[in-house]
Structure 1
Amino acid sequence: MSEDLMKLYSERILALAADIPHLGQLDAAQGRARRRSPLCGSTVTAEVVLRDGRVAEFAQDVKACALGQASAAIAGAAIPGRDRAEIEAARDALAAMLKAGGPVPAAPFDGYEALLPARDYRNRHASILLALEAAADAIAAAETAVPAAGTGS
């Protein structure tokens, strides 16, 4: 492994990858989404239950490289309690950080600072973005599945 790749797979990234929160599935998910990186085959499936438009319950199934796993760990720690706009903003900020030299996403997603070295590895960007993309898609699915307040029978 080259010295550059050794730096990329730092102890911090490997520690994150080994401790991904909210792994598994929900018994009664309102929204579910699966995202896959065609380049490397990494996949992340996210499931959510919403209360008042915010993630009340979250689960994820992660089959990804160490960078994708580290990303899922950072996202998993930050997603509960957030709404779709916050997660989409974090996803967009992460994409800008990786692809355009933008700043690290704002708290509570600032753990993505650990993935700054991945900027130089464009072939890893899609895998890193999967967790936030899947979560945003799962929330969107839940929002369309949940009747608006006051419209029930």
Structure 2
Amino acid sequence: MIDDLYSARILGLAANLPHAGRLVRADGTGERVARLCGSRAIVDVTLDDQGLITDFAQDIKACALGQAAAGVIGEAVIGATADEITTAATALTDMLKAGGEGPEGRFEGLRVLKPVADYPQRHASTQVAMGALVDAVDMALATSLATRDIPEAERTRRAGAA
């Protein structure tokens, strides 16, 4: 069973992390830490006017499972909507904790982590990147709603001061 947990696919995803680093300007940033093992994810996103992810970066310090999840997310996230992300996060949790099949659509690659369901102590590290992504998108959407009624010149002035 441990071979399934650290399959060649999972190790390959962990070794090749798309969009590693941080964004200079982000609409939203999320950070999650798995208390048991210390795995950490910081995610930055930018959204377009329709709420689609247009830019993404991730700073991941996690075990191979957390890195693999981040690898799948990094491959699929550009162009995703907030609904797709929250649906995938819920499906990931359900897959790990309740026997669900896992995410569908653009985040279906997270199903490679289904064997982690048998190792509850590794659930949190597997979910840090997705949790940070959800938090980043939530922040970006909240910021967008808060600034929607502010004139463009004022938004530009505020952005320059940040």
- Aligned counterpart for 1:132 among listed residues 109, 130, 133: 130
Alpha-carbon offset, residue 27 of structure 1: 1.2
| Structure 1 segment 3-152 matched on structure 2, within 5 A | 4-52=1-49, 53-146=51-144, 147-148=147-148, 151-152=150-151
Aligned equivalents of 1:78 and 1:152: distance in 2?
Answer: 33
Counterpart residue type for residue 11 of structure 1: A
Which residues of structure 2 form unaligned runs of 5+?
153-162
Counterpart residue type for residue 125 of structure 1: H
User: The residue matched to 1:108 in structure 2 has which SS?
Assistant: helix
After TM superposition, where is structure 1 displaced by more than 6 Å over at least 4 residues in a row? none
Deviations 1:83-142 (A, max 9, x none): 222101100001001111111211111111211111100111111111111111001111
Percent identical: 45
User: The residue matched to 1:56 in structure 2 has which SS?
Assistant: strand
Aligned equivalents of 2:110 and 2:80: distance in 1?
Answer: 17
Pairwise CA RMSD: 1.2
User: The residue matched to 1:87 in structure 2 has which SS?
Assistant: helix
User: The residue matched to 2:21 in structure 1 has which SS?
Assistant: coil
Q: What's the TM-score, normalizing by structure 1? A: 0.92
- 2:159 matched to which residue of 1? none
Larger Rg: 2
Aligned equivalents of 2:26 and 2:73: distance in 1?
Answer: 18
Greater percentage in helix: 2
Alpha-carbon offset, residue 5 of structure 1: 2.1
User: The residue matched to 2:104 in structure 1 has which SS?
Assistant: coil
Aligned equivalents of 1:113 and 1:141: distance in 2?
Answer: 27
Give the aligned length: 149
Counterpart residue type for residue 73 of structure 2: A
